Structure 1
C-alpha cells in the first residue's frame, strides 16, 4: 500500500508519431494524487488527472505548444516515487499511459509553461514497480 506521492514527473511522446516531445515537472492536485494512489493501491484507473504548474523542458526541435483548450493525444511515462505505508520507504514506479490532454492556461507567455492541464481518456499501458 502507498500513502503519498513524494515526487512525480514524466516524459511526453506524441501518440501518433511516438516522437519524444519533452520532459515535464508539475504538481498534482490533492484529488489527482488520491486518484493515482487508488491506481497503485486498488488498480482503479483515474477518469481524469489535473496537473498544476506544468513546465516542459528538454523539448524536441519539432515540439509545437498546444493551443489552449484544444485536445491533444499523448503517451507518457510517469516516474513516481511513492511512499510505502508500512515501511515509509520511497518506491520508484513507472507508469506508461495514453491520454488526451487539454491545456487550461499559461502562467506567462512561455510556450513551455502551463498553469494547469487536464488529462482525460486515460489508459494504462504498463505499470512497473521498480523496487519489488
Structure 2
C-alpha cells in the first residue's frame, strides 16, 4: 500500500517551531503581500489540485505569502510589480525567510501549502502568471 500524501520534510524544514533560513541556499522565495498573495496562492493550489508546493503565510503584520522556488529560479523569471524576490547568485543582501515546522505551534507562521515529493517547490511560471493576473 502506498501513501499518496506521505509526509515530506526536506532538511531545511525545522522539526518544531520555526527557524530562519537564508534565501538562495535551499530555496529562492517570492513574497506577495496580503489578499493578493492569498488569491495567488489559492489559484495555484486550485490549478495544481492541491499540490502547489511550499507556500508559507504570516499571520500578523502585512500577512506576507512566501512562495518557495527551487534555488536559482527567481532570477530566471521576470516578476510583476509588487512581487518581491529573494535569493539567487549576485544578491548583495542576505535575506532570511521564516520556515515553520510541519506541525505543532509555529505561530506567527504557517504552511498555506506544504512541499510534497511531487511538488518540492512552487512552479515559477505558474506563480508569475497568477501574480500578473492578480496585479
The structure, 1 or 2, with the larger RCO (C-alpha pairs under 8 Å, 6+ apart) is 2
Question: Structure 1 length as normaliser, TM-score?
Answer: 0.27
Q: Give 1 or 2: higher strand fraction.
A: 1
Under a length normalisation based on structure 2, what TM-score does the superposition of the two structures give?
Answer: 0.27
